[in-house]
């Protein structure tokens, strides 16, 4: 082969080999890359999985912690034993709402909203209680002898939320036949250093028909939740005891009191018109009450307390009792009359007791706010200039200083009521000799004998308290048995020891108002705890 041909052959083979080598290198590179990338990819995936697991564990831990915190916070805040109710909620309300009435309305709205969300405070028991506080009132066994007074829930907006705080008695109202605004604002004032209040609301009310609608809706909602249906038939079923609970409280072992009063514009000297006011309220509210309370003792309605005289009070109470017995229910509500602590003269108390017996009323609530400004406790603590100004405001004063007066009145009413109905007046015969003048010495003997009779009567009450509650006690004048009248007491009760004193004096229930305002949602629970501790000491 010629030299030229050999050179051409070499030249043509060289690019070919280069192309083949370049292609083979290109084909081998990915294999080498794959072989070295496999360990790196596995490590990254493992690291990602580990990081994801740690993140999930952290999220689980955080979620569990938040859930547990929420649960324990819920259990704490919604427990009446939590100190936050007294030491945080109450001061905050007073700080945010300088006007006491505004604070009252805000508290009621908050309680209503929280109850609808099941976030309201309620009484819980951590163990079986050592002392049984149950009492029997009007043949019904109540869980305890503590109640709330009227004025806390004036429009019957939150009776169930109040029951949840622990009382066996809740009193709503008072309500008047027609709506009325009450007295001009401001009309509620605080005395913080005395834990006292002055109010002159003047029985502000939306009227009996509005309260009747509110209570009717409550009964129908209860019937629906309990599976009894909805409408008139379900309502009638519950009101007639078909649900096995009192028709007022809708809770076993508890009772709902509904307070009624007259309108401010109704003339006091027109007794028939006044009676119609009370009867109007009773006809509309009796179906939804366990007990009706006739308020003739508010100090903020001009002329109302004059109705506590024997004749007008008897006529009013007779009308109320008759209307209550006509309620569209199998078992009519009981009727009690609420009397003033300022009507404390012997003849005034005896007149009220006489009206109670004559009218057929079932009992009396002793106590209300007072117009008096004496004996403001504690005496050694001076009032601030602002409190001195507040103390000069017109209205009913309530607070701890009322306790001793309430206790004394309960004892006096208990003694007089247990003596039975007053004897019928007898007409002197024509042949009867005129009464002889009584010498000074004879008057002293008569006074001594009256005191002895009262002491003997008190002794009988103490020795026969149990049998009296079941079978009645004997009339001190005729010797005939009669039903024992029930006494509830309100005014100045702030702790368990005082509640026990009131009960031992002859009351069946001790009601609180101002103590709840200053003590917060845990007040009832605290009072009952103190009662149990006092009982255990004895």
Residues serving a catalytic function are 298
Q: Is the peptide bond before 528 cis (omega within 30 degrees of 0)?
A: no
| 135 sits in which H/E element | strand 135-137
Q: In 205-297, which residue ranges form alpha helices assigned H by DSSP?
A: 208-225, 232-239, 271-285
Q: Alpha-carbon dihedral of residues 517, 523, 527, 532, nearest 10 degrees?
A: 180
Closest CA to 177 of 266, 291, 248, 247: 266
Query: In whole angstroms, what is the distance from residue 145 CA to residue 527 CA?
Result: 11
Place of tokens 């007294």: 86
Query: Which residues make Cβ contacts (< 8 Å) with residue 18, sequence separation at least 6?
Result: none
Closest CA to 245 of 374, 109, 143: 143
Query: In whole angstroms, what is the distance from residue 164 CA to residue 405 CA?
Result: 30
Q: How distant is the alpha carbon of residue 79 from its chain centre? A: 15
Task: Quote the strand ranges of 407-536, DSSP E.
Answer: 473-474, 481-482, 486-490, 509-512
**CA quadruple 307, 360, 485, 207: dihedral sign:** negative
Helix/strand/coil (H, E, C) string of 343-403?
A: CCCHHHHHHHHHHHHHHCCCEEEECCCECCCCCCCCCCCCCCHHHHHHHCCCCEEECHHHH
Query: Cβ distance 148 to 171 under 8 Å?
Result: yes
What phi and psi values does residue 57 have, to the nearest 5 degrees? -65, -40
Instruction: Give me the long-range contacts of 63-71 (CB less than 8 A, separation at least 24).
Output: none
What phi and psi values does residue 379 have, to the nearest 5 degrees? -70, -30
What phi and psi values does residue 407 have, to the nearest 5 degrees? -60, -45
Query: Which residues make Cβ contacts (< 8 Å) with residue 201, sequence separation at least 6?
Result: 151, 154, 182, 183, 187, 188, 300
């Amino acid at each position: 082969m010629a030299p030229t041909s050999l050179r051409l052959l070499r030249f043509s083979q060289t690019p070919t080999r280069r192309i083949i080598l370049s292609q083979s290198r290109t084909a081998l590179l990915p294999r080498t890359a794959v072989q070295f990338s496999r360990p790196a990819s596995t490590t990254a995936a493992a690291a990602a999985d580990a990081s994801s697991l740690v993140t999930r564990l952290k999220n689980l831990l955080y979620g569990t912690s938040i859930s547990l915190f929420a649960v324990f916070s819920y259990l704490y805040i919604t427990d009446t034993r939590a100190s936050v109710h007294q030491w945080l909620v109450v001061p905050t309300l007073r700080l945010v709402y300088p006007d006491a009435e505004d604070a009252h309305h805000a508290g009621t709205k908050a309680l209503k909203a929280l109850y609808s969300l099941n976030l309201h405070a309620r009484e819980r028991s951590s163990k079986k209680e050592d002392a049984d506080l149950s009492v029997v009132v009007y043949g019904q066994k109540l869980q305890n002898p503590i109640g709330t007074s009227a004025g806390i829930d004036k429009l019957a907006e939150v009776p169930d939320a109040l029951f949840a705080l622990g009382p066996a008695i809740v009193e709503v109202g008072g309500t008047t036949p027609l709506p009325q605004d009450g007295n001009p604002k401001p009309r509620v004032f605080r005395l913080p250093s005395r834990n006292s209040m002055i109010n002159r609301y003047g029985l502000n009310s939306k009227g009996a028909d509005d309260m009747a609608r509110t209570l009717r809706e409550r009964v129908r909602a209860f019937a629906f939740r309990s599976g009894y249906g909805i409408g008139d038939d379900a309502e009638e079923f519950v009101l007639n005891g078909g649900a096995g609970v009192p028709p007022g409280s809708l809770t076993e072992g508890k009772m709902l009191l509904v307070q009624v009063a007259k309108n401010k514009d109704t003339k006091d000297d027109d007794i028939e018109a006044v009676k119609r006011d009370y009867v109007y309220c009773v006809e509309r509210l009796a179906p939804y009450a366990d007990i009706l309370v006739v308020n003739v003792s508010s100090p903020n309605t001009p002329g109302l307390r004059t109705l506590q005289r024997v004749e007008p009070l008897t006529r009013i109470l007779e009308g109320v009792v008759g209307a209550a017995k006509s309620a569209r229910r199998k078992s009519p509500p009981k009727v009690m009359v609420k009397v003033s602590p300022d009507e404390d003269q012997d003849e005034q108390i005896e007149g009220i007791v006489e009206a109670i017996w004559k009218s057929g009323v079932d009992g009396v609530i002793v106590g209300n706010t007072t117009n008096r400004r004496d004996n403001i406790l504690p005496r050694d603590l001076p009032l601030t200039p602002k409190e001195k100004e507040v103390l000069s405001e017109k209205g009913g004063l309530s607070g701890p200083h009322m306790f001793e007066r309430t206790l004394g009145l309960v004892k006096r009413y208990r003694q007089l009521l247990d003596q039975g109905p007053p004897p019928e007046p007898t007409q002197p015969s024509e042949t009867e000799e005129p009464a002889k003048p009584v010498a000074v010495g004879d008057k002293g003997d008569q006074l001594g004998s009256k005191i002895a009779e009262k002491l003997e009567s008190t002794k009988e009450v103490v020795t026969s308290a149990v049998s009296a509650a079941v079978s009645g006690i004997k009339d001190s004048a005729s010797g005939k048995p009669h039903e024992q009248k029930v006494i509830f007491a309100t005014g100045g009760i702030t702790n368990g020891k005082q509640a026990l004193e009131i009960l031992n004096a002859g009351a069946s229930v001790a009601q609180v108002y101002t103590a709840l305002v200053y003590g917060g949602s845990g007040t009832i629970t605290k009072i009952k705890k103190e009662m149990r501790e006092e009982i255990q000491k004895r």
